[in-house]
């Protein structure tokens, strides 16, 4: 019989746009004893988690809960629940994940309209607003922070126009929640999806979502109760039912409501992780957390510039938590990444599609967003580039980052 060794993953410095290093207190929370999903202790944890999610999303929405699955499960749950077959859906695309929203909307049976921006830039709000007024969509779905290109889309002016046009606004905030401001109520966002494995420093496996009464009204028109749970006559809603059982937000909200109508078996240990991760975010304070991410971004960017490297994309819309670096001419980008991992235990990311092999992506997210990590990746990248024959002035990158920290009183 084959013998399997004890599991012993290497300890890494993870500086990608996700996943990132998990806070040890979150890992500790995952080791706690499992409770039954209807145990009063566990339902209290569910309720506390909902309270903290409202604070994270900056919303008074009744509904704020996690979908069990990776971030994509939250995106799919919101879209498949709020997009009925035949709906007109507008998707502004400026990177890989806008294309993902397009694909999911098509699978929902929507009539999809897209506007596209060259990768490395974002839309001026008036461009999106003009498209909304022209197309008159039922739903607008847009990415807030596009990690494939390291850009962040302004949203503050779009929500009001969606209200005027009676369109629901769905926002993918997977990469931004917990790292940069996401103002659900102030920006008039109808449904927002977050992710655990990025700025929240929780393992991948849950997707926090929130949605308002406008979105809930549409869910109720598609209302279903699972056949095996019905206790009497059931009348279906006026719109076609959601084409997924697992991702039906109307059924999920019954599970997260005081009714506790069974839907699936909740992921006990992951909910512990989410609760602890949210507790740590709120303990730090959202403003302080956003400032921390901005500080370490500034130090990283200063170090990269001192190394003579060029950042990719429009600097006016740079995503705070991701730096996209153009791979110098004549340098094998994958060889650099391999050396960083093998010799320094540091992981940075490549990119996708038209940017594959052209840029590195360095994340400063959540628990990975620390001074020692920033200094470590700069020093290691400098040494690695020198070993690859790239000309630079040794030592300047770390000094430039230290200058930023000293100026900010670190």
Residue ranges of the annotated binding site for substrate are 361
- Cα angle value 284/286/291 (rounded, 5°): 90
Q: Supply the DSSP symbol for 240.
A: P
First-to-last alpha carbon distance for the chain, in angstroms, is: 55
Token readout for 69 is 């699955």
Q: Tokens standing for 174?
A: 């997977």
Residues 316-336, buried b or exposed e (16+ Cβ, 10 A)?
Answer: ebbbbbbbbbebbeeeebeeb
C-alpha–C-alpha distance, residues 322 and 349, integer Å: 10
With DSSP H G I counted as helix, E B as strand and the rest as coil, what are the percentages for the chain, rounded to 5? 45, 15, 45
Biggest distance spanned by C-alpha atoms of the chain: 76
Query: Tokens representing 31?
Result: 């080791």
**Distance between CA atoms of 321 and 346, rounded to whole angstroms?**
17
Of 15, 312, 303, 299, nearest to 150 (Cα)? 312
Distance, in Å, from the CA atom of 196 to the CA atom of 204, rounded to the nearest integer, reads 6
Annotated binding site: 361
Quick one: tokens of 386?
């020198």
């Amino acid at each position: 019989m084959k013998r399997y060794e004890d599991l012993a993953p290497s300890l890494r410095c993870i500086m990608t746009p996700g996943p990132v290093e998990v806070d040890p207190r979150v890992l500790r929370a995952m080791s706690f004893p499992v409770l039954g999903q209807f145990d009063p202790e566990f339902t209290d944890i569910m309720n506390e988690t909902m309270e903290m999610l409202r604070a994270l999303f900056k919303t008074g929405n009744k509904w704020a809960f996690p979908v069990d699955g990776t971030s994509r499960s939250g995106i799919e749950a919101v879209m498949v629940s709020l997009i009925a077959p035949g709906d007109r859906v507008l998707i502004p695309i400026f990177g890989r994940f806008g294309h993902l929203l397009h694909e999911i909307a098509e699978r929902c049976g929507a009539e999809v309209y897209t506007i596209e921006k060259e990768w490395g830039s974002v839309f001026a709000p008036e461009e999106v607003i003009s498209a909304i007024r022209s197309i008159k969509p039922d739903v607008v779905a847009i990415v807030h922070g596009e990690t494939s290109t390291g850009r962040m889309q302004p949203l503050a002016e779009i929500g009001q126009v969606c209200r005027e046009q009676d369109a629901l606004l769905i926002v993918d905030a997977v990469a931004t929640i917990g790292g940069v401001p996401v103002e659900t109520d102030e920006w008039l966002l109808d449904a927002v999806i977050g992710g655990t494995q990025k700025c929240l420093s929780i393992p991948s496996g849950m997707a926090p979502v929130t949605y308002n009464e406008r979105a809930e009204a549409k869910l109720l028109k598609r209302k279903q109760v699972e056949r095996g749970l019905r206790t009497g006559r059931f009348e279906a809603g006026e719109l076609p039912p959601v084409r997924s059982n697992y991702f039906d937000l109307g059924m999920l909200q019954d599970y997260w409501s005081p009714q506790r109508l069974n839907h699936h078996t909740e992921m006990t240990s992951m909910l512990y992780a989410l609760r602890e991760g949210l507790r740590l975010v709120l303990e730090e304070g959202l403003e302080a957390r956003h400032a921390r991410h901005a500080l370490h971004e500034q130090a990283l960017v200063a170090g990269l510039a001192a190394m003579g490297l060029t950042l990719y994309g429009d600097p006016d819309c740079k995503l705070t938590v991701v730096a996209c670096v153009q791979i110098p001419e004549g340098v094998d980008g994958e060889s650099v990444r391999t050396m960083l991992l093998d010799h320094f235990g540091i992981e940075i990311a490549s990119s996708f599609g038209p940017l594959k092999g052209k840029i590195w992506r360095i994340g400063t997210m959540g628990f990975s967003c620390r001074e020692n990590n920033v200094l470590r990746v700069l020093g290691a990248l400098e040494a690695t580039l020198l070993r690859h024959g790239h000309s630079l002035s040794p030592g300047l990158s770390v000094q430039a980052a230290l200058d930023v920290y000293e100026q900010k009183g670190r």
